[in-house]
């Protein structure tokens, strides 16, 4: 492929070297070029970005990376050099950073990471005999995990303050969670394995409804349940969801109604906030966004500022001014100064370490904020005006914060998700510990905090790119309420800067973009400052790396493995390195397969030649009949499985809705087909459907 025409009419151009036929140059919509060079064995040796930021890579005789040199856009300057040492298995054992800090990595006999030492912090991990994580150590804090002896499912986590978070499963499905015996949630599912009801420990009940394509179409919240009549009272909060043909959210009706429109590139263009009273229709509030060809906002009308803001973009997607703010960058593309006011006299300075992590902010008032991090870019402390807050992590999720005095606040999440579930103010050693339940929007962004009786204590409303535009407190003593810093999934609001810490970098909700480039480089997208492909209504980026399509109700990751040329996707629940997010309908790189759900045929990537086997996608026992999809290069889709399987019952009806033509339907022998475990499917026929896009 030498040229790709995008939906908005713009074009990308690709050029290749003559030796390996690998991409040597990408030309973006503005004519800017991203260049690649390779070693004689085909490994990447140099890349120069659209903004002329240069990085070179150096390897040993075994092909392992041993040095990375970062020059920025000033190629004659001394580079930042990171060096890597590996053991005989190729595992990283020492990483020497450009500032001289050395990280030492240790592993157990099974190759699992057990410790990282860098002279500043200590990270450690423990495992059981079958390799499941049993403990996470972060300096003085420890989190412990226990598992069901029969199923191997996680059934308890001991938090750093000593409280036990416990999980209850039925047939592999999570059905409830408690915190030190206090009920957090009880869950019910529909026949497709999607969450249809959530009972919170404070008496609130949330119910969800879906259309045949699995899209959320209604969410109601009730206060309690009438046992005598077995009915729910009138909803205290409800929303209905409507989608455009591309699967993007087009309208929300009910509480906080909104209408969304997108441009031809799928970017959010307009948000309209209808007035509930028809007589106020003329007073509708509108947000509107215009973008340049590479996806940078160049004009924006905000809800609280009806006069449009304008922006200027320099080479490589660097924002030079927006509204009354002017921005400057270092040679690596990191924001180092924000200037505003008369003669640009009000300056905020930003400083970074050699990993391009924000370590200091100096405000125009002279206020100094500093930050520290661990080896995984997890922020371990924040110091504001001499007061330090420490942060404790469970994997890549913030689990608690403390000032090591009276302040201790914990955050609990839905399993395998960054959607917040509850906020705990105080710890197990304090008498005044209080539990609050989050109420989230369709994206998993907190919109309310509710108390132990289900009463709404605080609620807020956001603009499209995540900035709070309205807050309401429903009690007189505001100071007694905990501060909720959680925003978009994976984001933490810093009041002193207005930025959202997003694990691997910082997001500015005012400009709707990141202040540094994506650490993934071009793997994170052609525009390395862009948030969620400019679609913050449907996409999330919990790690600050690469946006993900958010499937409401049951976001599912399945582990993948390669066996004899066949991609086998099992019923694992945790996103792991190299895992495919098969709930991502727009992902161009992975086979477009959903969790055993034939309703999503429209999203199958027909360009793949992989064979995909689905095993037990919803964790039921016994296993569902297998569903096998063969995606052929000519666009043919072969579906094999039992027609009695609920995922195949309406397959022909759904196929018609998705413009798929049924080519043939027949019975075939199951011999030769295997479950994910490798065991053959024997002794029965299976149904075969062959479709092709019309």
- Three-class SS string for 544-575? CCCCEECCCCCCCCECEEEECCEEEECCCCCC
Sequential DSSP letters for 207-239: EEEE-TTS-EEEEEEEE--BTTTTB----SEEE
Query: What stretch of H or E contains 655?
Result: helix 651-657
The answer on pLDDT for 216 being more than 70 is yes
Name which of 494, 492, 496 is nearest 504 in CA terms: 492
Half-sphere exposure of 368 (CA within 13 A, CB side): 5
Q: How far is CA 324 from the centre of its chain?
A: 31
Given the structure tokens 């394509």, which residue do they identify? Answer: 213
State if pTM tops 0.85.
Answer: no
Instruction: Specify the range with the lowest mean pLDDT, choosing from 40-49, 92-101, 221-230.
Output: 221-230
Q: Is pLDDT at 305 greater than 70 in this prediction?
A: no
Q: Between these two residues, 263 and 656, which has the higher pLDDT value?
A: 263
Measured between alpha carbons, how far is 342 from 346 in angstroms, rounded to an integer? 8
Mean pLDDT of 313-321: 96
Is 15:24 a contact under the CB 8 Å cutoff?
A: yes
Q: How far apart are CA 24 and CA 516, in angstroms?
A: 25
416 confidence band (pLDDT: 50, 70, 90): confident
pLDDT of 678 higher than 80? no
Given a cut of 50, whether residue 571 has pLDDT beyond it is no
Q: Let me know: does 159 contact 146? Beta carbons within 8 Å.
A: no
CA–CA dist 309, 326 (Å, integer)? 13
Q: What is the largest CA-CA distance in the chain?
A: 81
Residue 602, phi then psi, degrees to nearest 5: -65, -20
643 versus 216: the higher-pLDDT residue is 216
Q: Which two tokens stand for residue 251?
A: 């309208």
Task: Give the helix, strand, coil percentages of the chain, each rounded to 5.
Answer: 5, 50, 45
Mean pLDDT of the chain: 83
Least confident of 349-353, 376-380, 431-435, 483-487: 431-435
Comparing 4-8, 352-356, 504-508, 655-659, the range with the smallest average pLDDT is 655-659
For residue 177, what are the contacts with CB-CB under 8 A and spacing of at least 6? 165, 166, 167, 168, 183, 184, 185, 412, 415, 421
Tell me the pLDDT band of 558, cut-offs 50, 70 and 90: very low
Q: Which of the four pLDDT bands, split at 50, 70 and 90, describes residue 572?
A: very low
Q: Which of 243, 282, 270 is CA-nearest to residue 464? A: 270
Check: CB of residue 694 under 8 Å from CB of residue 661: yes
Residue 600, judged by CB atoms within 10 A of its CB (0-12, 13-18, 19+), counts as buried
Of residues 115, 98, 32, 81, the one with CA closest to residue 522: 32
Inter-residue contact 96 to 83 (CB < 8 Å)? yes
Q: What is the mean pLDDT of residues 516-532?
A: 94
| Six token digits for residue 662 | 């049924």
The share of the chain scoring above pLDDT 90, in percent, equals 64
Torsion angle defined by CA atoms of residues 237, 487, 317 and 67, in that order, rounded to the nearest 10 degrees: -140
**Phi and psi torsions of 320, nearest 5°:** -100, -30
* 228, 222 contact by CB (below 8 A): no
> What is the per-residue pLDDT for 280?
52
Q: How confident is the model at residue 431 (pLDDT cuts 50, 70, 90)?
A: confident
CA angle (209 as vertex; 203, 212 as ends), nearest 5: 160
Which residue has 């019923």 as its token pair?
Answer: 571
Output the pLDDT for position 376. 94
Over range 491-514, report the average pLDDT: 98
Question: Which residues fall within 8 angstroms of residue 564, CB to CB, at 6 or more apart?
Answer: none
| Nearest CA-CA partner of 138 in 375, 324, 300 | 375
Q: SS3 of 98, please?
A: coil
Provide the total of helices (H) and of strands (E) in the chain, helices listed first: 1, 56
Cα torsion 385, 390, 393, 398: sign:
negative
How much of the chain, in percent, has pLDDT values that exceed 70?
79
Question: Cα(339)–Cα(407) distance, rounded to whole angstroms?
Answer: 34
Q: Are 206 and 220 in contact (CB under 8 A)?
A: yes
Question: Cβ-count burial of 31 within 10 angstroms (0-12 exposed, 13-18 middle, 19+ buried)?
Answer: exposed
pLDDT of residue 663: 81
Whether residue 621 is predicted with pLDDT greater than 90 in this model: the reply is no
DSSP reduced 3-state for 373: strand
Backbone angles phi, psi at 216, to 5 degrees: -65, 125
What average pLDDT does this structure show over 402-428?
Answer: 93
Residues 316, 77: Cα–Cα separation, whole Å: 19
How do the domains of the chain map onto residue ranges?
1-100, 556-693
What pLDDT, on a 0 to 100 scale, did the predictor assign at position 573? 27
Q: How many whole angstroms separate alpha carbon 143 and alpha carbon 313?
A: 45
């Amino acid at each position: 492929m030498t040229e790709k025409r995008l939906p908005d009419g713009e074009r990308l151009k690709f050029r290749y070297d003559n030796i390996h036929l690998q991409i040597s140059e990408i030309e973006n919509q503005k004519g800017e070029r991203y260049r690649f060079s390779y070693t004689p064995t085909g490994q990447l040796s140099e890349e120069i970005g659209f903004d002329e930021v240069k990085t070179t890579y150096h390897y040993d005789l075994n092909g392992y990376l041993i040095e990375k040199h970062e020059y920025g856009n000033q190629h004659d300057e001394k580079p930042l050099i990171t060096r890597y040492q590996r053991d005989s298995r190729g595992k990283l054992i020492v990483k020497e950073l450009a500032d001289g800090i050395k990280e030492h990595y240790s592993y157990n006999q099974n190759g699992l990471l057990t410790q990282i030492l860098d002279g500043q912090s200590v990270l450690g991990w423990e495992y059981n005999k079958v390799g499941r994580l049993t403990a996470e150590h972060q300096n003085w804090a420890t989190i412990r995990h226990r598992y069901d002896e029969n199923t191997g499912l996680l059934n308890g986590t001991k938090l750093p303050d000593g409280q036990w978070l416990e999980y209850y499963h039925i047939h592999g499905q999570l059905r409830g969670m408690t915190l030190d015996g206090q009920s957090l949630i009880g869950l019910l599912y529909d026949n497709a394995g999607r969450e249809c009801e959530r009972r919170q420990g404070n008496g609130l009940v949330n119910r969800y409804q879906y259309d045949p394509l699995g899209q959320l179409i209604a969410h109601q919240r009730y206060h309690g349940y009438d046992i005598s009549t077995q009915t729910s009272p009138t909803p205290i909060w409800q929303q209905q969801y409507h989608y455009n043909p591309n699967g993007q959210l087009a309208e929300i009706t009910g509480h906080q109604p909104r209408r969304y429109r997108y441009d031809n590139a799928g970017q959010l263009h307009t948000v309209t906030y209808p007035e509930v009273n028809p007589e106020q229709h003329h007073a509708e509030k509108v947000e509107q966004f215009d973008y340049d060809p590479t996806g940078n906002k160049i004009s924006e009308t905000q809800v609280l500022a009806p006069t449009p803001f304008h922006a200027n973009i320099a080479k490589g997607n660097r924002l030079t001014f927006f509204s009354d703010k002017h921005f400057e960058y270092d040679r690596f593309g990191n924001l180092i100064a924000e200037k505003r006011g008369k003669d640009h006299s009000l300056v905020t300075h930003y400083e970074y370490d050699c990993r391009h992590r924000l370590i200091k902010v100096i405000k125009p008032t002279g206020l100094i904020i500093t930050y520290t991090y661990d080896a995984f870019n997890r922020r371990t402390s924040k110091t504001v005006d001499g007061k330090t807050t420490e942060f404790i992590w469970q994997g890549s999720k913030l689990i608690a914060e403390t000032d090591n005095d009276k302040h201790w606040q914990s955050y609990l999440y839905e399993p395998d998700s960054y959607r917040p579930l509850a906020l705990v103010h105080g710890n197990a050693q304090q008498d005044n510990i209080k539990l609050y339940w989050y109420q989230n929007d369709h994206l998993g962004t907190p919109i309310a905090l509710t108390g132990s009786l289900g009463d709404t204590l605080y609620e807020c409303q956001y603009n499209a790119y995540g900035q709070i535009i309205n807050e309401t407190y429903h009690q007189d003593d505001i100071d007694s309420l905990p501060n909720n810093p959680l925003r978009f999934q994976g984001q933490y609001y810093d009041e002193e800067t207005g930025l959202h810490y997003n694990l691997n970098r910082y997001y500015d909700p005012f400009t709707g973009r990141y202040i540094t480039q994506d650490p993934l480089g071009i793997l994170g997208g052609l525009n390395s400052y862009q948030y969620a492909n400019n679609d913050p209504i449907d996409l999330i980026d919990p790690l600050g790396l690469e946006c993900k399509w958010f499937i409401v109700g049951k976001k599912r990751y399945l582990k993948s493995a390669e066996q004899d040329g066949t991609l086998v996707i099992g019923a694992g629940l945790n996103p792991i390195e190299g895992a495919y997010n098969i709930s991502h309908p727009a992902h161009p790189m992975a086979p477009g397969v959903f969790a055993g759900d034939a309703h999503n045929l429209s999203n199958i990537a027909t360009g793949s030649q992989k064979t995909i086997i689905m095993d037990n996608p919803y964790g039921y026992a016994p296993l569902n009949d297998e569903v096998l999809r063969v995606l052929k290069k000519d666009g043919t889709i072969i579906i094999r499985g039992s027609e009695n399987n609920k995922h195949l019952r309406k397959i022909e009806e759904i196929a018609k809705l998705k413009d798929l033509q049924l080519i043939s339907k027949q019975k075939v022998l199951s011999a030769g087909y295997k479950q994910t475990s490798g065991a053959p499917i024997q002794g029965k026929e299976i149904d075969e459907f062959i479709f092709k896009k019309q």
